[in-house]
Chains A and B, each alone.
Chain A
Amino acid sequence: MTTTDPISGVFAALADPTRRAILARLARGEATVNELAAPFPISAQAISKHLNVLEKAGLIARTREAQWRRCRIEPAPLRDVASWVAQYRLLWEERYDTLGTYLDDLQKEQP
């Protein structure tokens, strides 16, 4: 990870379709690693790599028992991303409202 802030870690984790599919599955309830791996035609090792990325981003948590490691989704980072997107939208709404008024004024000045 070259990123330092939590939000970009979450975005990076969400950038991959397999990881999004894993999260979507966990949104329905806890699952073991094997259950999570089942729908994907990739190795358990590859799944484990994805789970590591998700865990690092704080998007999932895993129980410690080695054989039956269960995964569950952690909602907080997703909530942060959702509120970040809402803030971003607000910022651009204000910016573009100001631009709209400015453009109107400019065109009134012109003959």
Chain B
Amino acid sequence: MNTIAISTPAPTELVMSRTFDAPRALVWAAHTEAEHLRHWWGRGNPLDVSIDFRVGGTWRFVETADGTQHPFRGEFREISAPETFTWTFEYEPMAGQVAVETFVFTEEAGRTTVTSTTHFDSQAERDAMMGSGMEQGANQSYAALDAYLVKIS
């Protein structure tokens, strides 16, 4: 219901899903318009929002928590209103660590589900990619690695 479903289909990918009691147009607006964003994105903390919602446009949110400013920023890569948008996401103190996040909005019986897929990207990862035909083994490795992560965390 009101909880986030989260999964990690790959170690570099996080998928989150949450359903809201609101029509899609409203949930979409809440994610893409400054007037709405400043009411929730800061989790109750003051939030300074600047957003240029178009492909190639940038955004920057500054959340003030306990007197400290936390600036986030990125750029819009794809927009297909009101179904989906993709932005890059960066926490300024850790500049260079860029995640790519895609938000998908689906409505059913007046309720809207937002599914976000966050991909943690890096050049090193692409540079190091090699070979193919190993995906079969990959599923087993995920299972083993998941079990290991559970064990150590």
In the complex the two chains form, is A82's CB within 8 Å of B97's CB? Answer: no
**Min CB distance, B119 to chain A, in Å?**
10
* Complex contacts, B42 vs chain A, CB 8 Å: 98
Segment 41-70 of A: residues with Cβ below 8 Å from B: 41-42, 46, 49-50, 53
Contacts A21-B138, A79-B153, A95-B41: A100 and B2 contacting too (C-beta < 8 A)?
A: yes
In the complex the two chains form, is B144's CB within 8 Å of A24's CB? Answer: yes
How many chain B residues touch A (Cβ–Cβ < 8 Å)? 52
In the complex the two chains form, is A5's CB within 8 Å of B94's CB? Answer: yes
How many chain A residues touch B (Cβ–Cβ < 8 Å)? 57
In the complex the two chains form, is B133's CB within 8 Å of A107's CB? Answer: no
Segment 1-41 of B: residues with Cβ below 8 Å from A: 2-4, 6, 8, 10-12, 14, 16, 18, 20-22, 26-27, 30, 36, 39-41
Contact string, B56-94, partner A, CB cutoff 8 A, digits 1/0?
Answer: 000000000000000000000000000000000000001
In the complex the two chains form, is A21's CB within 8 Å of B141's CB? Answer: yes
In the complex the two chains form, is B144's CB within 8 Å of A27's CB? Answer: yes
Report the tally of A-B residue pairs with Cβ distances under 8 A.
Answer: 155
Chain B's interface: helix, strand, loop or mixed, by majority? mixed
**Min CB distance, B128 to chain A, in Å?**
5
Q: Is A83 an interface residue (CB 8 A)?
A: yes
- Residue on B with the closest CB to A82? B153
In the complex the two chains form, is B125's CB within 8 Å of A46's CB? Answer: no
In the complex the two chains form, is B153's CB within 8 Å of A15's CB? Answer: no
**Min CB distance, A25 to chain B, in Å?**
8
* Complex contacts, B2 vs chain A, CB 8 Å: 97, 100
In the complex the two chains form, is B138's CB within 8 Å of A20's CB? Answer: yes
Q: Show 18 residue pairs from A and B whose CB-CB distance is below 8 angstroms, ordered by the A residue.
A: A3-B122, A3-B123, A8-B122, A20-B11, A20-B142, A21-B140, A27-B145, A27-B147, A49-B130, A79-B152, A82-B152, A85-B14, A88-B14, A89-B4, A102-B39, A103-B20, A103-B21, A107-B26
